[in-house]
Amino acid sequence: MNSYELMVIFTPVLSTEEYNAAIKNLKKFITDNEGEIVGENVWGLKSFAYPIDKKTTGLYYVLEYSAPATFNAKLLVQMSRDESIMRQMINALDKHAVAYNNRKRNGGSAAKQHSVTEKEEA
Amino acid sequence: MAKTDIKYLTTNRVEVRQKKYCRFKKMGIKYIDYKDPEFLKKFLNEQGKLLPRRITGNSMKFQRKVAQAVKKARQMAILPFVTDLLK
């Protein structure tokens, strides 16, 4: 069971219900295929740094999960079929990344915008 | 008066440059998050291009991690590929 992080950009055309439905459907797909969800981060509507197929904003969603290695291929096929998803990225997380995400999720002093020992240097 | 004969009253102290260090090793940062544009902007110039190692002072290992994180952020439209006056 490796840990992965999925970031998805939905088209801004989706209303909030469709957005939540799409998120629920993603999560269900993961839990159905014996993956388990570690944490999620709903960014919502955010503007892009450059236009993607003529759109300048998108609905971002970040999901951290752990799943067997064979699972991601199925997830990619599922997502590419879904036309409400503009862009997606799956990253494998090493132990430092997992520790970082846990720290961030458990409010490891949210003021520190980076990792635990980041002191704002001169 | 040959050029070398110029005598200065005080010794001509060349401005001593502060020794560069890798901020990741010094602060013990192990993971560079691609979702955090403010932090990654420290490693980009005004046009959004990656700064070289001799400017950022990073060690090779972390310069590569920064480069990977910036490229992921660019892919997910968090950071621009090219821009002007990024800061």
| pLDDT per residue as tens digits for the range B27-84 | 888 999 999 999 999 999 999 999 999 998 999 999 999 999 999 999 999 999 998 8
**Overall number of domains in chain A:** 1
Of A9-13, A112-116, B37-41, B58-62, which gets the smallest average pLDDT? A112-116
Other residues' Cβ atoms within 10 Å of the Cβ of residue A70: 8
Contact call for B27 and A118, based on CB within 8 A = yes
- DSSP summary character for residue B17: P
pLDDT tens digits for range A78-108: 999 988 999 999 999 999 999 999 998 887 6
CA distance A17 to B35: 25
Note the pTM of the prediction, 2 decimals: 0.81
Q: Looking at the predicted structure, is the pLDDT value of residue A113 above 60?
A: no
Backbone angles phi, psi at A60, to 5 degrees: -90, 150
Q: Rounded CA gap, A29 and A22, in Å? A: 11
**Structure ipTM over 0.85, yes or no:** no
- By three-state DSSP, how is residue A49 classified? strand
A 36-75 → B contacts, CB under 8 A:
48-50, 52, 58, 60, 62
Can you tell me the mean pLDDT for A32-52? Answer: 91
Residue B57 in contact with partner chain A when CB distance is under 8 A: no
Q: Position of tokens 């998120």?
A: A23
The CATH code of the domain that includes A30 is 3.30.70.60
Provide the b/e sequence for A76-106 (b: ≥16 CB within 10 Å). Answer: eeebeeeebbbbbebeebeeebbbbbebbee
Could you tell me the residue range of the domain that residue A19 belongs to?
2-121
- Is the CB of residue B49 less than 8 Å away from at least one CB of chain A? no
